[in-house]
Amino acid sequence: MSARVAVDTRTGGRSWLDPRDNSLNLLRLIMATMVVFHHVFPLTARGEGIELTPGESVGGWAVFGFFMISGYLITGARIRSDSGRYLINRIVRLFPAFFFVNILTAFLLAPIAFVIQNGSLQGFLSTPNTPFSYVISNAWLRMNDYSVAGTLADVPYPLAWNGSLWSLYYEFCAYLLIGLFCAIPVVRTRIWPMLLAFLATCALKVWDGPISVYLSGIDDDVVQFGRLLPFFFGGALVFMLRERLGDRLALDWRLVIVSIIATVGLVLLFPRFGAQLAAPFLTYVLIWIGSRLPSPRIFQVQDFSYGIYVWGFPLTQLLCLLGLAQAPLPLIFAILLPLTAIMAVISWFLVERPAIRWSRGKARPFGDIRAEAR
């Protein structure tokens, strides 16, 4: 079924995204697959992958896309819910699948790797970083250790089971920030507070070097927040523009062209931070695509993107461990993508979807629900 624009109930005009008939889940699925595609290159010793802009790869831009869509959708979720409900929904959307992939990595994939390396499981549970410490030390979404019991020592990208998970900590922090910010009444009723917040996050990117000097010890966090938060708050700003302007800022292909030109111009003029400055324009383009791109019904009601995102990396490492690192790329993708899709489907139906239904107070585990942003 093709996506449609929604009828704005305040103006009677067809202006924005239909919340029940759009292609945002499909877009996120494409972005998650882009991340998997990107990671195959460094994990198989084929370089750093394809750069779309100086210093930013295909995978990096896919993560930016996630943050823009999440900023747009999550702000709407926060405006519509109280603080407690909002926080529960955000925890439920990220943590269960995160624990699922880490537990299976530590107690299924890592033992397989340990046996391949050592010939038996003897010492597996006591070799640092132990599987228990892997799960516990990473429990709060912040990845403190990527290794398990010394496994993956002989692959091209050694001792790292899941390099995709680093971004989830910053995404959850963005959830908390927008949750607190939208608790201020004026933020819900005016555009300028969100505009100022977006500009503040851009300033963090522009001056991340000097700021890092004064925040030594967390300088890596400063860099990553400056890199990612402008995209999240750019998405949030677009949502507030939609809420306050309605049909005065409708989804229009002419504005899409203007947004693309503005994005290209900013990236060319300011290579180091132009993409961040362009975040609202890019979000507008993504929302327009989400309203026009045809999407199979299954992807409108099921969201497999998170599972694709978190499972692609460890399954690629497993294939490398089994000797496929130097195999032709088409063969690697022919094996990797179906395996990743299977684990994503398992994650969605057995972990993510039941958790979402529980948070909404619905006991029936397999009914029709719509996926939320993450």
Pick 82 or 374 by higher pLDDT.
Answer: 82
Give the model confidence (pLDDT) of 115-137 as tens digits: 999 999 999 999 999 999 999 99
Give the model confidence (pLDDT) of 341-352 as tens digits: 999 999 999 999
Residue 286 burial (CB count, 10 A)? 22
CA 230 remoteness from chain centre: 14
Note whether 161 and 105 are within 8 A (CB): yes
Q: Which amino acid is at 281?
A: F
Question: Residue 362's pLDDT band (boundaries 50, 70, 90)?
Answer: low
Question: Residue 217's pLDDT band (boundaries 50, 70, 90)?
Answer: confident
Question: Residue 369's pLDDT band (boundaries 50, 70, 90)?
Answer: very low
pTM: 0.92
Residue whose structure tokens are 């494409």 = 30
What average pLDDT does this structure show over 255-266? 97
For the residues of 257-309, what is the DSSP string, one character each? HHHHHHHHHHHHH-TTTHHHHTHHHHHHHHHHHHHHS---HHHHH---HHHHH
